[in-house]
Amino acid sequence: MACFLVPMGEAIATTVVQKVVESNEKKSGAAKANTGRILWSRKLGWLNNMLWGGCLLLALEHMWHGEIVPWPPFLTAMGNPADIAPMMHEMATIGTGMAVFVTAVWIVMVAIADAKVKSAPTLKASSAGRGE
């Protein structure tokens, strides 16, 4: 019904966090310095791309199934008071599950990437800290 709104909320929050972190890294010079570590702004970029990409494609699926429409109130379930409670339940269960699962996969990705960078000292100087 509207489960993708939960990961979308997370995507908005993590995008703001990424912009703040990126700005702090530029100010501190970490973005230019070769610290041999992957920058947090880059790691957060991976999460943002997964969350925004997933939300975009899920929004299309919801449009296909007639669950969202391009006119107010946008969510079909909002037009019928009886559908609001099931929609909220779906957001709380499936939507939260999606956001948690994507974040958990990202945490594993970050852990593996950090371990790879640590175990490859020759790559540190050349590839660590690069964009995308």
Partner 1 sequence: MFLILTALAAIICTVIWYANAPEDKYKVGLLSLIYWGATLMWLIDHVMAYLTEGGEFFEINLDATMLGILVIILGLIAWEIALLVSDPKGALKATLKR
Interface ranges with partner 1 (CB under 8 A): 3-4, 7, 46, 49-58, 60-61, 64, 93-94, 97-98, 101-102, 105, 127, 130, 132
Residue 49 beta carbon to partner 1: minimum distance, rounded to whole angstroms:
4
Maximum Cα–Cα distance across the chain: 61
Which is nearest to 49 in space by CA: 20, 18, 21, 5?
18
DSSP SS3 for 120: coil
Choose between 25 and 48: whose C-beta lies nearer to partner 1. 48
Give phi and psi for 130, each to the nearest 5.
Answer: -70, 155
Choose between 26 and 89: whose C-beta lies nearer to partner 1. 89
Which is nearest to 40 in space by CA: 120, 106, 123?
106
Choose between 28 and 107: whose C-beta lies nearer to partner 1. 107
Residue 85 beta carbon to partner 1: minimum distance, rounded to whole angstroms:
16
